[in-house]
Amino acid sequence: MMTKHDSPARTKSFPKLLFAVVIVLAFSVPGLCARKEAATAGPVLPPGKVHHSSEFGWSAQQDVTKEFAGLLAGGKLQAGDELVLDHTYRISGSHRLPDDFTLSAAQGAGFDVTDAVNPGHNRPLLELGNHNTLHNLTITYLNTPKLGPTGEQRDVHFTPRLGIQAQGKHDLLLRNCRLVGSIGHHLKLTDCRQPQVIGCHIAGGHWSVYLIGNVTDAVFRHCLIENCQGDGIKTGGSSGVVRGVLVEDCVFQDNLRDGIDTTGGFNDSVVRNSIFRRLGVSGMDIKSHYESKTGRIEDLAPENIGILIENCLFHDTPNAIVLTTLDCGRRSGPGRELLNAKNIKAYAPHDIDINNCIIGHAEKPLRSRREDGYGVDYPSGDGEHMRMVFLKDAYAIRYRDARFSGARIKPVQISSIGGSSHLSQEAAAAFERSITGNVLAEPAPPIPPGVREVSFACGPQAQE
């Protein structure tokens, strides 16, 4: 095992991202993400009609389930059209939107979902088509459990309701939407290309945003994802790999587990200028998880390779970043392992760069999470309170110019899970868990406690 805290880290080259990123030294203040949002090109819609809900005689708080379904089924709302919701309406069931369609709302208008507790089906409220835009919508799931890091028990801490879904679609845009409620997933994307989530506020949800399979080139910008019963963004659930994600100027806070969990891969992705605070396990759980229906590792693509994390603030969470390799073949018994000495290096997380990040704590006493602190539940003999990197089984990890705010922060904890039910000793012993980097001597500025506001506009905005 190689750990060098005082040697300069190699910086990964990302030729597609050759622009200057100015690190904000006062990351702990609300102005961290205060940058003017770059123009984001949404889907190009063919000419169509703009309809207002008032044209159809809808009144505020009316249940429009049948009316909305009828407009879609009858062809009144077609590809290229836009429907503007003038008020908030009650709705249930599942509704499939046509391609090249926009659903928008006046500020504060949208849907109150009435079947969020007992949906009676596993279909989404909205099934998206290609080139769909959701703009300025407020969707509230009524009577769902309390928001916040309350627990992960289905039907107790969250309901199984599915909010917005797209499968095999491309060029999707969610802009300035607010999605609220303790449900399973607010947004579930499977095998989608170029989805964009810009300026959205998402509160509650077990895996609030769920990316499955070959999701490519997703963008999350100026988003607040908070009060989740599990993770803010979660990948997984398929043999495919999520690739090319950009997360920038976002805030993840007050989640039971992680800000971002990459169980389904996060290859060639970038996370920058973002805040991860008050999270129960970690800011980012970079977890390569291999489970094959055929029993062949060759059917699975390597996960979590080539990730850049830069200019981020992690505070009041036991671990900033966790790195793990899981072999689910071992569940089937000896001899059924997917990973071994020959292939482990191809499949373990590697080539990950962590540059110019601040790690710290300010809000709770230096106690473990089990003792009502934000510290680690399994301290080593060093008695650390927080870890920058908890490296279980990964290699070629590099960090550069890290800064700490607070006491008892450990740069790196290395603890292989080799020999456990999740990874064989043979595989674990076949490679060196390596990490290099440096921590600057100058501490970061103190982190103000209790900050929940964000410095960017997110959620519905007033229309011009």
Q: How confident is the model at residue 77 (pLDDT cuts 50, 70, 90)?
A: very high
Does the model's pTM come out above 0.85? Answer: yes
Q: Give residue-wise pLDDT tens across range 147-185.
A: 999 999 999 999 999 999 999 999 999 999 999 999 999
Task: Tell me the CB-side half-sphere exposure of residue 408, using CA atoms within 13 A.
Answer: 20
Q: Give residue-wise pLDDT tens across range 386-407.
A: 999 999 999 999 999 999 999 9
Q: How confident is the model at residue 47 (pLDDT cuts 50, 70, 90)?
A: low
Average pLDDT over residues 420-429: 96
Closest CA to 337 of 349, 327, 347: 327
Q: How confident is the model at residue 46 (pLDDT cuts 50, 70, 90)?
A: low
54 vs 69: CA distance, rounded Å: 16
Average pLDDT, the chain: 91
- Using the predicted structure, report yes or no on whether residue 121 has a pLDDT greater than 80: yes
> Residue 5 has what pLDDT?
42
Spell out where 363-414 has E strands.
Answer: 386-391, 395-405, 409-414
Closest CA to 259 of 242, 240, 288, 282: 282
Q: Give residue-wise pLDDT tens across range 239-272.
A: 899 999 999 999 999 999 999 999 999 999 999 9
Return the percentage of the chain with pLDDT > 90, whole number: 83
| Cβ-based neighbour number of residue 57 at 10 Å | 9
Q: Give residue-wise pLDDT tens across range 294-320.
A: 889 999 999 999 999 999 999 999 999
All domains in the chain, ordered by first residue: 2-10+144-439 (2.160.20)
Q: How confident is the model at residue 464 (pLDDT cuts 50, 70, 90)?
A: low
Question: If you count them, how many residues does the chain have?
Answer: 464
Q: Give residue-wise pLDDT tens across range 315-365.
A: 999 999 999 999 999 988 888 999 999 999 999 999 999 999 999 999 999
> Residue 235 has what pLDDT?
98
Tell me the torsion sign for CA atoms 132, 136, 141, 144: positive
Average pLDDT over residues 15-21: 35
178 vs 163: CA distance, rounded Å: 12
